[in-house]
Amino acid sequence: MIESCETEALQEADLVDDKRHKGNELGALAGVPVTVKINVDQRGYATTNGLQLQKDLVAKIDNPVVNNLRKAGAIIIGRTNTPAFSLRWFTRNTIHGHTKNPLNPLVTPGGSSGGAAAAVAAGIGAIGHGTDIAGSIRYPAYACGIHGLRPSLGRVAAHNFSGPDRFIGAQLMAVSGPLARTIEDLELGIEVMANHDHRDPWSVDMPLKGKPYLKRVAFCDSPEGIKVDPRIQKALRSAIKNWSRLVGK
């Protein structure tokens, strides 16, 4: 975490406690500590995106994804690091420094949501906000031994009001999503983030879950043209057998 939101977080926590004591309805993430990546607008904080050039770009309005977290009662405890432009496989920049992997400081935490993944893996917040174009949620989650979800375009509304919109390619590829230590927390995170907001022109107003249907899984332990270590094949086959027993197939 490269910036603490302690004062604001304590105030928001007091509001949640007050609502609870009064018996008021609480959001799905009431009192849950979360973190927000520094490439999205959070009111009162600079949207640096890892750039010295944007160190004074202080947001006046919350990005819709941040707004959805707040509406659910989440307590934003801090901002997490990203490489410059959020376009690297590591998490290091000249303004906020180098984020290390809490599991092993000699190994990368991944990028570009390496700050979010490292924080969650270290127990700093239950859910981390991340963004993903080409693996920026998924790779850090893998590197830090947690879970990450890259939703489809339009599922999670997101827009920065602090500056000009991104070029069209980034708009069509970049999405916000959650990182968490458990699948249950990950599911809760996406349920909260995936609320429609008309301020994002790509936001789609539709249910998060559809009707249940029969699911099938394809498995291949020897992709064409790729030699697979027999130990890996054995481990994969064992995992498939265990999974089949669990689902009763």
Decide if 112 is catalytic: yes
Annotate the chain with DSSP letters as a single string: --EE-HHHHHHHHHHHHHHHHHT----TTTT-EEEEETTS--TTSB--TT-GGGTT-B-SS--HHHHHHHHTT-EEEEEE---GGG-SSS-EETTTEEPPPTT-TTS---SSTHHHHHHHHTTS-SEEEEEESSSTTHHHHHHTTSEE--PPTTTS-----SSPPPPHHHHHH-EEEEEESSHHHHHHHHHHH----TTSTT-----SS-----------SS-TT----HHHHHHHHHHHHHHHHHHT-
Q: What is the pLDDT along the chain (249 residues), one digit of tens a residue?
A: 999 999 999 999 999 999 999 999 999 999 999 999 999 999 999 999 999 999 999 999 999 999 999 999 999 999 999 999 999 999 999 999 999 999 999 999 999 999 999 999 999 999 999 999 999 999 999 999 999 999 999 999 999 999 988 889 888 999 999 999 999 999 999 999 999 999 999 999 999 988 888 878 888 888 888 889 999 999 999 999 998 888 765
Q: How far apart are CA 151 and CA 65, in angstroms?
A: 13
Decide if 37 is catalytic: yes
pLDDT of residue 170: 86
> Under a CB-based contact definition with an 8 Å cutoff, are residues 102 and 143 in contact?
no
The structure tokens listed for 209 are 């879950």
pLDDT of residue 151: 97
Among the listed residues 86, 136, 176, 203, the single catalytic one is: 136
CATH of 3-193, one of 3.90.1300.10, 3.30.300.250, 3.30.450.90, 3.30.1330.10: 3.90.1300.10
Question: Cis link prior to 136 (omega < 30° from 0)?
Answer: no
